[in-house]
Amino acid sequence: MVHELKDNMAQRLMVALDYPDVAQAKLLMEKLEGIPCYTKVGMQLFYAAGPEFIRELKSRGYSVFLDVKMHDIPNTVKGGAESLTKLGVDMFNVHAAGGRAMMEAARAGAEAAAKHNPLLQMPLIIAVTQLTSTSQEVMNGEIGISGSVGDTVVRYAKLAAEAGLDGVVASPQESAAVAAACGPSFRTVTPGIRPAGSSMDDQSRVMTPGQAIRQGSHYLVVGRPVTAAPDPRQAALTIIEEMIQA
């Protein structure tokens, strides 16, 4: 039972493979071998490594969140979603700021690919609300959105739910509000996770792993606290333990 609980919680930890090339990413995966965590592949690595690295991660048994944040006209996003679903990713994201029609198109593209090939699974489609690097001042003064960050996140989350998406990317500070607005099964993927004593780096809205779990976050995205740690494996195991104890 303890081992099962540990594995289940490990599957809620998304390790961000924020590397410029495949060699460094593979080295980390070797160090994490046997920990059934999710892997998050962002734009830098995906643009450098391409689809073949995603296929390799899948062949190793890892779930893959492809973090490419699509934001374009609906037809283009539909085509992109179809391609990512054919690639076999478990999760990908779009920007909620693209609007309801764009988000609906993303789901339509994924469904078309899954329907065409019954061996493919339908990926989770997640909408980005506000980046965790976005402060209140930036959102109001530079992006031009009035009100509070929390209100904007919830508004985008409701729109994503209406469009048929599976959840949102939001800071852990908004997880409880998203669950209240969209229901507990609507998933929250939360970057900005920093174990106690860690540097905030370029994040503005952060929480510890335990705090995020208590707030209701479904998946915790952790990058530098694992990837830049002297012992990445131990760092990941420590975070999982904190998640279990939450």
Helices 51-59 and 74-87 pack at an angle, to 10 degrees, of 40
Residue 38 neighbours by CB under 8 Å, 6+ apart: 11, 12, 13, 14, 15, 62, 63, 64, 65, 90, 91, 219
Residue 105 neighbours by CB under 8 Å, 6+ apart: 74, 75, 77, 78, 81
Question: Do 129 and 191 form a contact (C-beta atoms < 8 A)?
Answer: no
Catalytic residue selected from 26, 69, 86, 158: 69
Decide if 40 is catalytic: no
Spatial distance between the Cα atoms of 93 and 66, rounded to a whole number of angstroms: 7
- Residues serving a catalytic function are 69
